[in-house]
Amino acid sequence: MSPNSSLNDALWIRQKAVEHTELFRDSIPLIASENLMSPLTKEMVISDFNNRYAEGLPGHRYYQGNKIVDEMETRVEELVKTLFRAKQADVRPISGTNANQALVFAFLQPGETILTPSLDSGAHISSAQFGAVGMRGCSIKNMAFNTDLMKVDVDGTRKAILAEKPKVVLFGFSVFLFPAPIKELKETIDEVGATVWYDGAHVLGLIAGRRFQDPLREGADVISGSTHKTFPGPQHGVIVGNTDEEKWKKVRRGVFPGVISNHHIGAMAGLGVTAAEMIEFGESYASAIIQNAKTLGGELHSRGFKVLAEKSGFTESHTLLIDVKKEGGGRQVAEVLERNNIILNKNMIPGDDNTKAQNPSGIRIGTQEATRIGMGRSEMSHIADLIQRAVKGANVKDEVLELKRQFQEVKYCYGKERGYDFIELYR
Ligand SMILES: Cc1ncc(COP(=O)(O)O)c(C=O)c1O
């Protein structure tokens, strides 16, 4: 292969990054698991931190050159502990799934039982038979779930805890519409001596903003999370805890050497910057996200969409789940909207089985990214109108472009108005 041909390959890939950036510049972003980093966070991700290794913990490394990384990592841990009012924090997992793997290693031996929500009630694959928990050889039992209310069924789950005596009770959802009943179940969980693990991948930013629920105060031992969904940081993971020293040691070992070697230090610095920004802006950001989700749910419902959990007010988080069987199914609706530059995903709803994964009955919507760029109630109503008309066959792409043109700046973070102007450290 000639040198010119590989240069062309490199430039072709770069061109794809340009086109991709333009696609999202021109689209309404409604994927519930994505977000935009702040300028200062972005700078951390491309800094020299990103080129380095720092295995282990501050003060106990295996490489030289980590003096400044040690100072930074210690500060990031402190910020995360402050933000979540946690006794412990581990800022090394490189994604939500990776944080979950570490906790599976820490708390579960092959053959032991874990109680989790089922996949069709919104659980994540990492707690499924074919995900991290199943691959550890654990026995998976499911919580009772009320599909009408889209909430964990407390009485049914209490019975399941007493019958199964699980080692771990895991509260975690990829469709996390309502707070989990930790408080209500804590006494029963304590009776069987189980560890309470809260997978807050989706709702971490809402918890940081003191909305939704406060798992550590309600009885969770640990929270795992992604730092790039409602928590608007770099693609990374985190674990926070209020456990005894013995348990926390197991978590530390689960992370390293359990599931990571190097922990993506640029992203970890970005997590610290985002944590600092969330200490200042988190409450107003989380409130706006939830208000937008409720508004969008109501607006879609009033236009005839079957938004689930109507009896519970559709949502208390950033997420909405909509049954679109009568509109042609999840895949068709998501594809029609994509052609109009409205980006969301098809999703299973209660009652769908695994064979429906590629063509499920629902769509999932998240409002965290649209909120991050400053959209509010009137834009939610406008978006509901655009969705309705697109699903009925209208071409609304030009209207989407016109709307999106007005929302191009990341909010709820440090920027020019606070004396921080994005300086590209490394051109
Ligand atoms: C509940 C839950 N846990 C874990 C994850 C995995 O997070 P990540 O994509 O950061 O690996 C997700 C991802 O969407 C999730 O919904």
The pLDDT tens digits for 331-373 are 999 999 999 999 999 999 998 887 777 889 999 999 999 999 9
The rounded Å distance from CA 186 to ligand 1 centre is 24
Residue 426 has pLDDT above 80, yes or no: no
> Is residue 67 in a domain?
yes
Q: Ligand 1, atom 7: nearest CA belongs to which residue? A: 96
What are the strands, taking DSSP E only, across 268-372?
306-307, 319-323, 342-343, 345-347, 362-366
Strand partners, 336: none
Residue 113 has pLDDT above 60, yes or no: yes
Residue 276 to residue 82: CA distance in whole angstroms: 9
293 in Cβ contact with 145 (< 8 Å): no
What is the atom index within ligand 1 of the atom nearest the CA of 236?
10
pLDDT, one tens digit per residue, over 221-245 is 999 999 999 999 999 999 999 999 9
Q: Which of 204, 226, 260, 345 to mutate to test the pocket of ligand 1 (most atoms within 8 A of CB)?
A: 226
What is the atom index within ligand 1 of the atom nearest the CA of 228?
10
Residues 89 and 161 in one domain: yes
Q: Which domain holds residue 308?
A: 28-36+282-405
Q: Which of 91, 118, 126 to mutate to test the pocket of ligand 1 (most atoms within 8 A of CB)?
A: 126
The rounded Å distance from CA 149 to ligand 1 centre is 23
Task: Tell me the pLDDT band of 128, cut-offs 50, 70 and 90.
Answer: confident
Token pair listed for 289: 């996200």
DSSP assignment, residue 296? H
> Is residue 416 in a domain?
no
The stretch 73-95 carries a mean pLDDT of 98
Final residue belonging to a domain, choices 276, 298, 315: 276
What is the atom index within ligand 1 of the atom nearest the CA of 123?
1
Q: Ligand 1, atom 16: nearest CA belongs to which residue? A: 174
pLDDT at 423: 58
**Identity (one letter) of the amino acid at 178?**
F
The CATH number of whichever domain residue 357 belongs to comes to: 3.90.1150.10
Q: Ligand 1, atom 15: nearest CA belongs to which residue? A: 174
The rounded Å distance from CA 25 to ligand 1 centre is 24
The number of angstroms, rounded, from the C-alpha of 21 to the middle of its chain's C-alpha atoms is: 21
Residue 427 has pLDDT above 50, yes or no: no
The rounded Å distance from CA 279 to ligand 1 centre is 23
The rounded Å distance from CA 229 to ligand 1 centre is 9
| End-to-end Cα, the chain, rounded Å | 29
Q: For the chain, give the longest Cα–Cα distance.
A: 69
The rounded Å distance from CA 202 to ligand 1 centre is 7
The stretch 64-75 carries a mean pLDDT of 97
The rounded Å distance from CA 201 to ligand 1 centre is 5
**Residue 36: how many CB atoms within 10 A of its CB?**
20
Sign, CA dihedral 272-276-281-282, equals positive
What is the atom index within ligand 1 of the atom nearest the CA of 100?
4
Residues 264 and 304 in one domain: no
Question: In this predicted model, which residue has the larger pLDDT, 210 or 127?
Answer: 210
> Is residue 116 in a domain?
yes
pLDDT, one tens digit per residue, over 130-174 is 898 889 999 999 999 999 999 999 999 999 999 999 999 999 999
Residues 136 and 110 in one domain: yes
Residue with structure tokens 């032991």?
Answer: 112
Q: Which of 174, 203, 235 to mutate to test the pocket of ligand 1 (most atoms within 8 A of CB)?
A: 174
The rounded Å distance from CA 402 to ligand 1 centre is 32
Final residue belonging to a domain, choices 228, 256, 276: 276
What CA–CA distances, in Å, run from 354 to 20, 130, 325? 31, 11, 16
Residues 151 and 262 in one domain: yes
> Is residue 351 in a domain?
yes
Residue with structure tokens 């998501």?
Answer: 334
The rounded Å distance from CA 74 to ligand 1 centre is 25
Task: Tell me the pLDDT band of 298, cut-offs 50, 70 and 90.
Answer: very high
The rounded Å distance from CA 227 to ligand 1 centre is 10
Residues 102 and 244 in one domain: yes
> Is residue 10 in a domain?
no
Residues 299 and 252 in one domain: no
166 in Cβ contact with 192 (< 8 Å): yes
Residue 424 has pLDDT above 70, yes or no: no
pLDDT at 3: 65
Residue 381 to residue 77: CA distance in whole angstroms: 40
Residues with CB under 6 A from ligand 1: 33, 95-97, 100, 124, 126, 172-174, 199, 201-202, 226, 237
The rounded Å distance from CA 130 to ligand 1 centre is 15
pTM over 0.85: yes
Residues 205 and 269 in one domain: yes
Residues 55 and 192 in one domain: yes
The stretch 269-296 carries a mean pLDDT of 98
What is the atom index within ligand 1 of the atom nearest the CA of 172?
1
The rounded Å distance from CA 177 to ligand 1 centre is 15
Residue 412 to residue 393: CA distance in whole angstroms: 36
Final residue belonging to a domain, choices 276, 309, 324: 276
pLDDT at 355: 75
> Is residue 413 in a domain?
no
The stretch 259-274 carries a mean pLDDT of 97
> Is residue 128 in a domain?
yes
Element (H, E) at 225: strand 222-226
Q: Is 165 helix (H, G, I), strand (E, B) or coil?
A: coil
Residues 58 and 162 in one domain: yes
Number of domains in the chain: 2
The rounded Å distance from CA 132 to ligand 1 centre is 12
Residues 71 and 208 in one domain: yes
The CATH number of whichever domain residue 72 belongs to comes to: 3.40.640.10
pLDDT, one tens digit per residue, over 34-67 is 999 999 999 999 999 999 999 999 999 999 999 9
Residues 352 and 215 in one domain: no
Residues 83 and 221 in one domain: yes
What is the atom index within ligand 1 of the atom nearest the CA of 237?
10
Q: Which of 125, 202, 230, 260 to mutate to test the pocket of ligand 1 (most atoms within 8 A of CB)?
A: 202
Residue 421 has pLDDT above 80, yes or no: no
> Is residue 308 in a domain?
yes
Q: Ligand 1, atom 9: nearest CA belongs to which residue? A: 96
